[in-house]
Amino acid sequence: MLNQTLTALMAPHGAEAKRMFGGTCFIVNGNLLIGTHRQGLIVRIGPDAMERAVTLGAEPMFMGGRTMKGWVSVAAPEDLTLWINLAMDFNRTLPPEAAKRRSRKA
């Protein structure tokens, strides 16, 4: 349900959906932005918005035993638009990432 709703809300942003981290993540301008995870929603908001995100109910995101700087997880997001907007605000500060080519091994 969360994945379907997020897919519909991300479409107007021209987001590319990609299976990652056991869920579906969305990429805008080549930068990972937001996605679903077994923890609920994961959102890349940048380090400057961490304090605000925590007051809104998010927790710092942990993966592989370490804190992911600038990322939060939201167990039960009530307002997906709020989290998308926070993620898009940070995304606009990033330079576009070029598509990475996979190397072929001989």
pLDDT digits (tens, 9 = 90+) for 56-76: 999 999 888 899 999 999 998
**How many Cβ atoms are within 10 Å of 27's Cβ, its own excluded?**
20
**Residue 38, pLDDT score:** 83
Percent of the chain with pLDDT over 90: 72
Return the exposure string of 71-92: e unless at least 16 CB atoms fall within 10 Å of the residue's CB, then b: bbbbeebeebeebbebbbebbe
Q: How confident is the model at residue 2 (pLDDT cuts 50, 70, 90)?
A: confident
Strands 40-44 and 59-63, how do they pair? unpaired
pTM of the model: 0.86
Average pLDDT rounded to a whole number, residues 18-30: 92
- Asked if residue 86 has pLDDT above 80, the reply is yes
- Asked if residue 101 has pLDDT above 70, the reply is no
Q: Cα–chain-centroid distance for residue 88?
A: 9
- Asked if residue 99 has pLDDT above 80, the reply is no
Q: What structural domains does the chain harbor?
A: 2-91 (3.30.1460)
